[in-house]
Structures are given as C-alpha cells and as structure tokens.
A and B are shown apart, each in its own frame.
Chain A
Amino acid sequence: MTVWLAVVLGGIATYLTRVTPLVVSVPGAPPPALRRYLDALPIAIIAALAGAGIALPDAEPTHGAELLAGALAFAVAYWRKDLLVAMIVGVIAVALLRAGGL
C-alpha cells in the first residue's frame, strides 16, 4: 500500500513541477537566488543519499569497503560518463573488498 501511495503522490508531485509553468502564467523570470538553489538541489539530495549509503550500508558493518568501492565508482563514472559500468565496478569492488576482510 505504501508503494502505491508513494508512486501516485510522487507522480502527481512530479507532473505538477513539469506542467505548472506551461499552463499557469507567472510574471517575470524566477529570481537568480531561487534559480541557483533549484539548480543545485538534485545533485545535493542524491549526494546525501550516496553519503548515507556509504556510511551505513544494508549489509553487516564493514571496515571501509564501501568507502573504497564508492571512490572507485565515482572515478569510473567521472571518466567514463557511464552509469551502468560505474555501478557494476562499484558492486564488484565492494564484494571483493568485503570478501577480503575489509
């Protein structure tokens, strides 16, 4: 039930962000400060989720396997610009590091 409600509410919220400026006339451009805030918002929230996931993974507590694998995934994503490759490298790295006792 939570899933369906989340999907419907999340869907409505998202559609409103897409449609409002196209059907409601807003006088003038948004103020620069608001523009910069909204611009930086997604990367900040996703980074927060990444930080939380590294700090407290779902698996048993480890000794830095997630931090090392995370750094590796970041480097791969930065150079290759490829989400899937970065994810696979991150997952394999964390599995190897955990198996190695980190």
Chain B
Amino acid sequence: MRRGTDVIERSPARLALSEGWPVLITSVVVGTTYGVLARQSGLGLLETSASSLLIFAGAAQFAALELLKGGASAGEIAVAVLLINARHLLMAAAIRPFVARASLARRLGLAYVLTDEAFALGIGWFRRPRRELAYYATFGVALWACWNVATIVGSLVGSSFEHPERFGVDFAITAVFIAIVATSVRHRTDLIVAAASALVAAALKLAGASTLAVVIAGAVAPLLALRLRQR
C-alpha cells in the first residue's frame, strides 16, 4: 500500500470537472440563451425542456427553432437535425475502441452524453493515455445537467419579455448562428465552405425558397470541401 498517491493524483471524475469547468460554464450560458429564444419562438416550458432532454445538441436545437418559425413540418425538422448531428457518427466511431469493453447498458448511456465538448475532452484523456471511462462519463453527465437546467432557467426567464421584435430580438437566432460559425471555423476550407453556403442560402431565401431548401443547400456546400482538399 502506497499511501499518498491518492492525494497527489486526483480521481478521473474530479479531474474531468476541474479541467472541464470553463466548458461547463459556456454550456450554461448558451443553454440559457436557447431557453430564452425557444420561449420567444412560442415553445412552452415542457416543450423546451423536452427538446434539450431528447435532442441534447445545441446547434441542432437552435436550427430546429428557426425551422419551426418558418413553418417547417416535423419530418423536415428531423431531417435537418439528423444532418447537423451526423458528425456524431464520426466521433462515436473514434471513441469506440475505448468504450468497447463496457457493458451494453453503459455504452447506451455513454452514447447519450456524447457531444462535441465531451468528445473533445474525452479523446484528449484517452490519448494521454488513460483508460478510465469515469473522466468522459463524469464530464458528459455534468454537461448534460448544465445544459438541461440552463434551458429550464432560460425558458422561465424568457417568458418575461414582451414585444421582442421591438428590441431586435428577432435577430438573436441569426446572431447565434453567425457566432457558432465564427467560433467553429478551424481553417480556410471551413471559411470558404461557410461563406459559399451562406451566400447560396441568402440567394435562395430572397428567391422565396423554404428554410428546408436552405438546409439542403447547406448540406451540398461541404462537397466543395472535398474539391478544395483534392488539389
């Protein structure tokens, strides 16, 4: 028995929280924003909370709000959500080797808390290399709790605003989309794809196209990325 190692080396669960807290705070801020905007878009507290519980993916949830406002059908919204979240397939495939030995029930749970953030922190942990699942699981559950509580708070706060259009609040979701793009641009290809996609979508919208047409145009734009990288 070597005493003292526990004191020096903190448990994976505690490390996950001490290393991940800035990300958790961000999720509280963005989750509250989502709750407010969902309420402004006409969703009740239950609907807003259910969307965060069941979908639990920020960008897709903001997009779903925009589509709802545009009168899209449930099927169209589900297609848009699926396209935006298809990236999870890659992330799940990347963490698969590290969770392969966990029971089926655990894997079902670990999949539920898979987000961009949990993936980024989790894969960093596994590459250190550490094998404990507690790090990924703890951070994933913490982020889930932050996002869902923040959504409820936002929905409650959001009901106190009246006549939002007077204060430019109708522009808030668009501003969030712009901010998501600006914060997730990693290289020149991203920027070119985003710019091309935004311009085509703007032209389509001005020509009277539906929001689903805009989403589909967005889904075509990454083909440009394949062309750009080939050279």
Contact = CB atoms under 8 A, between A and B. Distances in A.
Interface of A: 2-15, 17-23, 26, 29-30, 33, 35-59, 66, 69-70, 73-78, 81-84, 86-87, 89-95, 98
B92 A44 contact: no
A82 B180 CA distance: 9
Interface in B187-231: 189-190, 193-195, 197-206, 211, 214-215, 217-219, 221-223, 225-226, 229
Given A44-B193, A48-B201, A53 B226 contact: no
B92 A19 contact: yes
B175 A2 contact: no
B100 to A, nearest CB: 8
B178 to A, nearest CB: 5
> Which of A13, A46, A89 counts the most chain B CB atoms within 10 A?
A46
Contacts of A56: 205-206
Interface of B: 26, 29-30, 33, 43, 47, 50-51, 53-57, 59-60, 63-64, 66-69, 73-75, 77-78, 80-90, 92-93, 95-96, 99, 104, 107-108, 110-112, 114, 165, 167-185, 189-190, 193-195, 197-206, 211, 214-215, 217-219, 221-223, 225-226, 229
Contacts of B175: 69-70, 73, 86-87, 89-91, 94
Given A21-B92, A23-B107, A47 B181 contact: yes
Contact of B197 (A44, A57, A73): A44
B127 to A, nearest CB: 17
A15 B198 CA distance: 28
Given A6-B68, A18-B88, A83-B29, A49 B206 contact: no
B78 A19 contact: no
23 contacts: A9-B77, A10-B54, A12-B78, A18-B92, A19-B107, A21-B93, A30-B89, A37-B223, A38-B89, A39-B90, A41-B219, A41-B222, A44-B194, A47-B181, A49-B63, A56-B206, A59-B168, A73-B179, A74-B181, A81-B183, A87-B176, A91-B171, A94-B175
